[in-house]
Amino acid sequence: MQQKIVILDFGSQTTQLIGRRVRELDTFCEILPYNKFPKDDPSVIGVILSGSPYSVHDPDAFKVDLSQFIGRLPVLGICYGAQYISNSLGGKVEKTGSREYGRALLETIDLDNPLFKGFEKGSQVWMSHGDTITAIPDGFKVIGSTKDVTNAAFWSPLPLEGQGVAPIFAVQFHPEVFHTLQGTQLLKNFVVDICGSKQSWSAASFVDSTVAELKQQLGNDRVILGLSGGVDSSVAAVLLNKAIGKNLTCIFVDHGMLRKNEFTQVMNDYKVLGLNVIGVDASEKFFADLAGVSDPEQKRKIIGRDFIEVFNAEAKKITDAKWLGQGTIYPDRIESLNITGKVIKSHHNVGGLPKEMRLQLCEPLKWLFKDEVRRVGRQLGMPEHLITRHPFPGPGLAVRILGDITPEKVRILQDADDIYIRGLREYKVKLSGEEARKVLAAGVPADMKDGNIEVSLYDQIWQAGVILLSKVRSVGVMGDERTYEHPVALRAVTSTDAMTADWAHLPYDFMAKVSNEIINKVKGVNRVCYDISSKPPSTIEWE
């Protein structure tokens, strides 16, 4: 039985980051709504309560029955989770009058406490809360304080009356964010030492268990997989192929908004992998149905609907097919709705699905984060150039064109994007020390020589692309002529999980070269900008 940490989500922007950090400890975890704790699941070894945008005193604040797990399982409350524990068990949470936000130092810390094993005095943490805990419940003990926050960390050293023997820990800072320098150590102490994780969650174990589960789930049924050319669907295809072989048929639909020459290149890649792939050029249908549509959510829904229509037309030719395979990954499912149930954005694989489908859904990667998908791809022996491909939105360039879609706009964007991506692949940089270690830890293939590695800019960043500002025109001069054409924006971000992302600090000489080449070679563009927004508050894609 696979051990599991349950993370109860109270709506924090960094809840998914907690999950990512737990996975990095080779431990499976599941993020669930705050009110959906699985009471009868024997695989659960610990519980983490996330932060929240609410105060515990707000009338609409999310509340959970702590008796479901307090005393029975080790519990770690983070920020709101810590305040909720305190408020629920007899402590006091009060307004501070101002937010406690940003870096702080643990000036007082109990280094003998199991939660802080391996910590250094004065360790930096990251605060982000408006209330503060002014009194902890009876039976608890303070184990960490900053200059301004006395009860920055506390725990129950003895069994609480009527609450069982499992320990309770609470911290008012966020160990999951990079700004908390020893946050990973804290989470390891909780997950591994306190909860007893055997750290058995790995790419190899995932492949073995998933192949076995797929064989049991699918039997001799035939599966059709909608390929996109990206990492997720490609790894899903190879995983399914390993499980059911000839019973898998893949369909790669060209909606006309792929990268330049991508359809042909990807079809060749799939042939090398030994996959049975049917390629369908449906670009005329997609362009016709998208004509005049500017709203990004509507564009996503149209593309999702048309994909299913084209897919079903091919599926009818395979009369015994019962399953639709998809490369849905964990962040896709988490980001589709926020904690209040409001749509943030439609997931690109399900946004246009009809209410009734002839095919059942099979999503072999639905529990994985992106870098876990890449590790699984390597475990399956896939070519590196497929594994390291940047994420690409399901609707393709349609959501990188601000405004309505036309073949000419797509042509402009394809040409600009091709120059940009080729440039990122060709530009090499040397890294050493901590920068080199981070790149190698992310799985980027590189050789270490004399403490240095050389990698391309493409392999250093998480995702890159060009956005066509088709609703905007700017004045320019080329030769002796005045131009009035479109600007484009270059986007490049660094990330580990797409939940948060920083804009990539690309070299000036690289940006100058790419800008010059795009303006000189791409007809319809006379200005290049660079997006220096991070996520949050911005998203990686513009639409």
Residues with catalytic roles:
79, 174, 176
- Residue 178's Cβ-count burial label (10 Å; 0-12, 13-18, 19+) is middle
Nearest CA among 312, 229, 242 for reference residue 269: 229
Distance (Å, rounded) from C-alpha 512 to C-alpha 529?
11
Distance (Å, rounded) from C-alpha 416 to C-alpha 260?
9
Distance (Å, rounded) from C-alpha 177 to C-alpha 229?
32
Distance (Å, rounded) from C-alpha 146 to C-alpha 124?
10
Q: Residue 355 has which token pair? A: 């209410």
Distance (Å, rounded) from C-alpha 19 to C-alpha 274?
34
Distance (Å, rounded) from C-alpha 274 to C-alpha 109?
57
Nearest CA among 202, 195, 201 for reference residue 45: 195
DSSP code for 473: -
Nearest CA among 416, 406, 407 for reference residue 294: 406
Whether residue 258 contacts residue 229, with contact meaning beta carbons closer than 8 Å, is answered with yes
Q: Cβ of 480: how many Cβ atoms within 10 Å?
A: 5
Q: Give the residues across from 170 on adjacent strands.
A: 77, 154
Nearest CA among 275, 175, 204, 201 for reference residue 234: 275
At CA 255, angle to CA 268 and CA 315, rounded to 5? Answer: 80
At CA 410, angle to CA 511 and CA 461, rounded to 5? Answer: 35
Rg, the chain, Cα only: 25
**Which amino acid type is present at position 282?**
A
Strands 75-78 vs 222-227: parallel, antiparallel or unpaired: unpaired
**Which amino acid type is present at position 84?**
Y
Q: Residue 492 has which token pair? A: 């490049």
Token pair 């290049």: residue: 528
Mark out the alpha helices in 316-391 (DSSP H runs): 330-335, 370-379, 384-387
